[in-house]
Amino acid sequence: MTTFALIHGGGGSSWDFHLLGPELVARGHDFVAPDLPITDSSAGLSDFTDTVLAALGDASDVAVLGHSYGGFTAPLVASKVRARLLVYLSGMIPAPGEPPGQWWGNTGFSGPEGLSDVETYFNGVAPELAEEALTRVRDQVSTEWDEPWPLPAHPDVPTHVLLCRDDRFFTPDFQRRVARERLGIEPDEVDGPHCAPLSHPSAIADRLVRWL
């Protein structure tokens, strides 16, 4: 049995994985999805990492998934636990020494124009889920924005990038380019928008378990 550490994105919470987690359990595995201390103005990347490690406890067979902004924390956790698998799901792939606030310009990111939050992040998500997701967004006031990413290189862990074909925020072409430039790998693909754990949890769980 593998324990999946599911790390949410900016403004997110454990609720973001309330459909994906049970799908992993149904396939014979376990998961943790802690709320990172993003509402703490003194918290940074080390605090995010420690929060996930505390949730994992003594789990020895661990896979780590970072969704979106959670990509800055996921490899830090993976390096600490010697994870058997690291997955960036529509994830930000950091470079050594790069603060999250500089990632956007460094990667050449250009956001969508003229779309609402629902249209940007939740296209294809059931309307009631999308509405609830917006009510659960937390203010991110933590300090990691200007904090250099601390690893000298990405951890030596089997790594996959899973892009979402309908993602309007981190578009497929953008994700493919960043994955090639930063990791030298070709992403795998799944249907769904940026917040695909709310629209395609079963398909994502199948892919994660297959990679084990």
pLDDT of 149:
98
What is the share, in percent, of the chain residues with pLDDT greater than 90? 100
Which residue carries 């290189």 as its tokens?
Answer: 153
Please name each of the domains of the chain with its CATH number: 3-211 (3.40.50.1820)
Average pLDDT, the chain: 98
How far is Cα 150 from Cα 178, in angstroms, rounded to an integer? Answer: 19
In this structure, are residues 5 and 56 in contact, taking their beta carbons and an 8 Å threshold? yes
pTM above 0.85, yes or no: yes
How far is Cα 145 from Cα 105, in angstroms, rounded to an integer? Answer: 13
Section 4-20 average pLDDT: 98
How far is Cα 73 from Cα 88, in angstroms, rounded to an integer? Answer: 10
What is the H or E stretch that residue 46 is in?
helix 45-56
pLDDT in tens, 110-141: 999 999 999 999 999 999 999 999 999 999 99
How far is Cα 125 from Cα 56, in angstroms, rounded to an integer? Answer: 29
SS3 23: helix
- Phi, psi (deg, nearest 5) at residue 96: -55, 130
